[in-house]
Structure 1
Amino acid sequence: MRDKPEIRERVWTLLTERRAARFPLPLHDRIPNFAGAELAARTLAATPEWKAAKRLKCNPDAPQRAVRLQALREGKLVFMAVPRLRDARCFLRLDPTKLGGKLAEAATISGAATRGEPVEPASLGTIDLIVVGSVAVSPDGARVGKGGGYSDLEFALARELHAVDEDTPVVTTVHELQIDDEPLPMTDHDVPLDLIVTPERVIRTRRALPKPKGILWAELSDAQLDAMPVLALMRRRQRR
């Protein structure tokens, strides 16, 4: 089976060569922004999973900006993680009723950092829908991110706190060129997708893999825990 770096490189190159890439450029080492991201967001907004959701956790990357804006315009509560979970209050809470009409600004990465309310993970409550960014996806629900592993870790953290469970829909918006019909490598900590949305269609995955039931502590080094205070504190409490 191909490895993840090879898969990422293929997608970044393909989007660039086919002129489907959008700012920020170059795409390498990013969740790639793509032509039609706004249409994909509108397509997602027409799904039953979206319509039923009131509280969302969404990634902060550029291709999902339109998703975040759509959610705020519809009055949904949006949570975004602080980069690398580096703060004790590691989520930003975006409440559209408290943004003074600055919804478009709050939907950006920089705007969320200034207008969002930093909160601890316990403030997540029950999350109805998770939106993740992807580099590559396959119709069976497998996903390859940009390589940091933070999206999977955020899910695991939310699962530890019972904010999400096996049935919480996990969705992504991507370009058609990001869909790979070949098998993608998945590990125990990788979060599979329930829904893949492109500007052209909605794919309900044939998900065979279970979602992680929590944090796989054995995979985290002491240095990683030191860099993420919220996880270090949770680990200490579990060891008591």
Structure 2
Amino acid sequence: MTSVDKDQAKHAIRDRVWALLERERAAPPGVHGRIPAFYGAEAAADRLAELPAWRDARVIKAVPDKAQLPARARALTEGKLVYMAVPKLAEVKPFYLLDPARLTVPPNKAASSKVAATVARKIGVEEMKPVDLIVCGSVAVNRNGVRLGKGAGYSDIEVALLQEAGLIGPKTTIVTTVHSSQIVEDELPETEHDFSVDLIVTPDAVIECSPPRRPDGLVWEHLGQEKIAAIPVLAARVQER
């Protein structure tokens, strides 16, 4: 399957899942093009919090999407350090540092990407501690741990940056919280820059996936010039090369 064929297959599956979520009223209208803010996200976060991988984690990296806000808030409430990606990685220092010991607003407020932008310090990977657990969003995911985001590739870049910096390793768990309707039976296309998830958590179930698959780092040939120019941390790296 060519890269064009893979992209077309991914888009078709995303469109199908977005339509299904709206048809089943499993998410608010307008989910197309987004990581779905599915109904039951709080229950999924509660179920995630019951797992040993969560209980043992002290440092968590999370996406800024609304669907994962309950997990971020839960982490801060429990005293975990949270690194949240700046939306679209639009800063040279592309992560917010959310330290529960230094919050000036309640955890459920600080966990919002809009509020974090006003109260959290931005940091680069060189300032980060090793990450125990990664919480990512998905549009679709299968039981082998292959996931599809909304197609922009930001989560893949975030994981690649952490991998290159030595901040994630074999003991780092990657989890996605989704609605059960987002779990598909398709054999989802994978590329070199994709990462797999170890756990899928829904409001009602936990699915273990294996084996883990991680990129060694950024796959520059998969990043177009427009994408590199739009992400300051990548543009800076190109200048350094």
**TM-score, length of structure 1 as denominator length:** 0.93
Counterparts in 2 of 1:81 and 1:66: CA distance versus 1, 3 Å: same
Match of 2:233 among 230, 234, 237: 230
Partner of 1:214: 217
Match of 2:138 among 134, 138, 157: 134
- Give deviations 1:30-85, integer Å, cap 9, x for gaps: 00011111010000001011011111110111111100010000000111111222
Residue type matched to 1:196 in 2?
Answer: I
Partner of 1:28: 32
**Contact preservation (8 Å) 1:138, 1:179:** yes
- Give deviations 1:65-120, integer Å, cap 9, x for gaps: 10001000000011111122221111100111111342111111211111111112
Does 2:15 align with 1:9?
A: yes
Question: CA–CA distance in 2 between the matches of 1:194 and 1:172?
Answer: 8
After superposition, where does 1:138-177 map in structure 2 within 5 Å? 138-177=142-181
After superposition, where does 1:52-131 map in structure 2 within 5 Å? 52-131=56-135
Between the aligned residues of both structures, percent identity stands at: 45
CA RMSD after TM alignment: 1.5
- Give deviations 1:11-31, integer Å, cap 9, x for gaps: 111111111113xx4000000
- The count of corresponding residues between Structure 1 and Structure 2 is 235
1:223 Cα deviation after fit: 3.2
Question: CA–CA distance in 1 between the matches of 2:124 and 2:214?
Answer: 23
**Contact preservation (8 Å) 1:8, 1:146:** yes
Question: CA–CA distance in 2 between the matches of 1:20 and 1:76?
Answer: 30
Question: CA–CA distance in 2 between the matches of 1:8 and 1:129?
Answer: 25
Match of 1:178 among 164, 179, 182: 182
Match of 1:39 among 40, 43, 61: 43
1:5 Cα deviation after fit: 0.8
Which residues of structure 2 form unaligned runs of 5+?
1-5
1:236 Cα deviation after fit: 4.1
**Contact preservation (8 Å) 1:188, 1:212:** yes
Residue type matched to 2:168 in 1?
Answer: V
Which residues of structure 1 form unaligned runs of 5+?
none
Partner of 1:203: 207
